[in-house]
Amino acid sequence: MIPQKNKTGYSFFTNSGNGNFELADDTLIMQGWKNLKIKKTHVMELTKISDLALNKVEVEMKYFDMFGGNELLRFAMRDSDFKAMKSTLGK
């Protein structure tokens, strides 16, 4: 039997559509309105911007793209998912 990689998933919500983040080993995979693969070490910040209705929070994520440029994503997610993802990323 082949051992499976360690995977953890978190849902996110935007005006452009919903999706999820999946953390597989050292890579954060974003699937939904935008599809990205970001190395865990390239995520600079994961910050709560504000509280939203229905136990959700607005979140801002800063990361380095594959060319070394700074990128910024804003989205909403459940507060519990935000806290778990922040802890998992160590940010």
The 10s digit of each residue's pLDDT in 13-61 is 999 889 999 988 889 999 998 899 999 999 999 999 999 999 999 999 9
pTM of the entire predicted model? 0.84
Q: How far is CA 82 from the centre of its chain?
A: 8
- The partner residues of 18 in beta bridges, in order of sequence, read 13
Q: Which 3 state secondary structure label does DSSP give 27?
A: strand
Is a pLDDT exceeding 70 seen at residue 5? no
Nearest Cα residue to 44 out of 25, 22, 69, 7: 69
Q: How far is CA 2 from the centre of its chain?
A: 27
Look at strands 43-52 and 56-64 and give their pairing.
Answer: antiparallel
